Amino acid sequence: MVIRPTAEQARIIQFSGSRLVVKARAGSGKTTTFFQIAQAYPRERMLYLAYSRAIRDAAAQRFPKRQVDCKTSHQLAFPKFGKLLRHKISHHGNIPLRELANALDTSNWAFVKDVLDVLTNFMCSADMKFYSDHFTRFNGKPNLTTKMVQYQAEVVDAAERVWVRMCDPDDPFPTVHDCYLKLYQLSMPDLSLQYKRILFDEAQDANPVTSQIVLSQSCKLTLVGDEHQQIFRYRGAVNALDHPLLNDVPRLYLTNSFRFGPNVAIVANALLELKGETVPVVGRGQADTVTLHVPMGTEHRCLVSRTVMGVLESALAAAARGESIFWVGGIENYKVQDLLDLHHFSRGELGNVKNKKLKADYKDYEEYKEAAEQTKDHEMQR
């Protein structure tokens, strides 16, 4: 089926410059626009780059495989560096605090967490080496004492030593996926040798290390995203659409949303205006209705929460009312088992704790609480 591009999409497809920023509102057909770009330039070898694996997988179903490679930044880095380290990548998604404490030979949990934060900040940054700026706990403090400056230097030095161990395939100390992505960025890859054009999706949620990889390329580049849909700032994401290297780059818009109709658009624009947005979204989807109350007799409803705890609290309340519950993405994605394990651990019911690592890392619940309080770790405190 041939989809005729809208006037906004046509301007993007016909753009002949080397770099373009596209600000695309929710449901405005950005993936369709990318697909139409590929159709318009069938002889160009392209890379479609997305932050999310789910978005990448959905895009891969649409693009011609012989012309467009669809990858996440980690998939881009894995063949060169990830393969060498895959046997030691942490299954937890991060470096466990206990293993880091053992490596540092300390029981000072605050120091351990500071080192972990420096490592995380370095891996997400575009920097080529460690700096004191990667230690952020003292940010906002006007006058650092000599003792504080010395402590900061000790933390950064310890983080650099751990980083060397993380990068060594022969060292048993675990590593994380962001480690090999950082190594890839440090290698300064030249993607223009393989691709004529890069299509960078969800650029509002790119972290600095990925932005640096993309913006250092000499091939054609189209960045698409929406700063109003930025959801990964807690992971160090920075809006690449407003990167200083793109200050003089032309900007086009996709404002026609096919996801909702005119009434939802009215509410959306009222909220966007509060944020200072001057370019409104246009609702071109099916007729819709905005209501302040769930209509009587509604059998099914969807509750959206900002936090995992909000989801759990809503589920507990629904269960207490005897309602059936469907978990979007599956209940396992909400880490309910972790909470159950910690509950049993706190009561000394070790036989019911399924996470063996919890029992191995902490002698009892009091030590776990001490680590949570000293490190201010959000997951542990939750």
Q: 207-225: per-residue pLDDT in tens? A: 999 999 999 999 999 999 9
CB neighbours of residue 156 within 10 Å: 21
CA distance 172 to 344: 31
193 and 56 fall within a common domain: yes
Residues 6+ apart with CB under 8 A from 208: 124, 125, 126, 236, 238
Name the average pLDDT for the chain: 92
Provide the domain limits for residue 227. 18-80+184-254
Domain finish residue from 210, 226, 254: 254
Residue 300 inside a domain? The answer is no
> In this model, does residue 236 exceed pLDDT 80?
no
- Give the end-to-end CA distance of the chain in Å, rounded to a whole number: 49
192 and 74 fall within a common domain: yes
pLDDT for 301 equals 87
Q: Quick one: what percent of the chain has pLDDT higher than 70? A: 99
H helices of 216-362, where?
262-274, 308-320, 336-346, 356-361
Question: Cα–Cα distances in Å, from 245 out to 20, 21, 211, 216, 320?
Answer: 12, 11, 10, 10, 54
Question: Cα–Cα distances in Å, from 20 out to 192, 219, 336, 354?
Answer: 17, 12, 43, 50
205 and 330 fall within a common domain: no
Q: What's the total number of domains in the chain?
A: 3
> In this model, does residue 381 exceed pLDDT 90?
no
169 and 95 fall within a common domain: yes
Residue 290 inside a domain? The answer is no
Tell me, what DSSP letter sits at residue 248? T
Q: 275-334: per-residue pLDDT in tens? A: 999 999 999 999 999 988 888 888 888 899 988 889 999 999 999 999 999 999 888 888
By mean pLDDT, which of 121-125, 169-173, 234-238, 302-306 is the weakest?
A: 234-238
pLDDT for 294 equals 83
Rounded to an integer, the average pLDDT of 24-32 is: 92
CA distance 282 to 253: 12
206 and 248 fall within a common domain: yes
Rounded to an integer, the average pLDDT of 143-150 is: 92
> In this model, does residue 361 exceed pLDDT 70?
yes
pLDDT for 313 equals 92
Residue 5 inside a domain? The answer is no
> In this model, does residue 382 exceed pLDDT 90?
no
pLDDT for 185 equals 98
74 and 108 fall within a common domain: no
pLDDT band of 2, cuts 50, 70, 90: low
Rounded to an integer, the average pLDDT of 148-173 is: 97
pLDDT for 230 equals 87
Q: 59-104: per-residue pLDDT in tens? A: 999 999 999 999 999 999 999 999 999 999 988 778 888 899 999 9
pLDDT for 333 equals 84
> In this model, does residue 274 exceed pLDDT 90?
yes
71 and 96 fall within a common domain: no
Rounded to an integer, the average pLDDT of 255-280 is: 95
pLDDT for 139 equals 86
Residue 326 inside a domain? The answer is yes
Rounded to an integer, the average pLDDT of 232-237 is: 76
Nearest Cα residue to 357 out of 179, 94, 165: 94
CA distance 169 to 88: 8
Whether 381 contacts 309, CB under 8 Å: no
Residue 272 inside a domain? The answer is no
167 and 96 fall within a common domain: yes
Residue 328 inside a domain? The answer is yes
The DSSP element (H or E) to which 157 belongs, if any, is helix 146-167
- Is this structure's pTM higher than 0.85? yes
Residue 147 inside a domain? The answer is yes
Q: What is the CATH number of the domain that holds 234?
A: 3.40.50.300
72 and 141 fall within a common domain: no
118 and 72 fall within a common domain: no
Residues 6+ apart with CB under 8 A from 24: 30, 33, 224, 225, 226, 253, 254
CB neighbours of residue 197 within 10 Å: 20
- In b/e form, how buried is each residue of 314-337, taking b as 16+ CB within 10 angstroms? ebeeeeeeeeeeeeeeeeeebeee
pLDDT for 231 equals 83
73 and 206 fall within a common domain: yes
pLDDT for 181 equals 97
What token pair was written down for 72?
Answer: 């996440």
CA distance 317 to 330: 18
Residue 50 inside a domain? The answer is yes
Domain finish residue from 118, 143, 175: 175
118 and 171 fall within a common domain: yes
pLDDT band of 36, cuts 50, 70, 90: very high
pLDDT for 51 equals 84
Question: Cα–Cα distances in Å, from 256 out to 15, 151, 223?
Answer: 19, 53, 18
Rounded to an integer, the average pLDDT of 328-347 is: 89
SS3 call for 92: coil
Domain finish residue from 175, 196, 221: 175
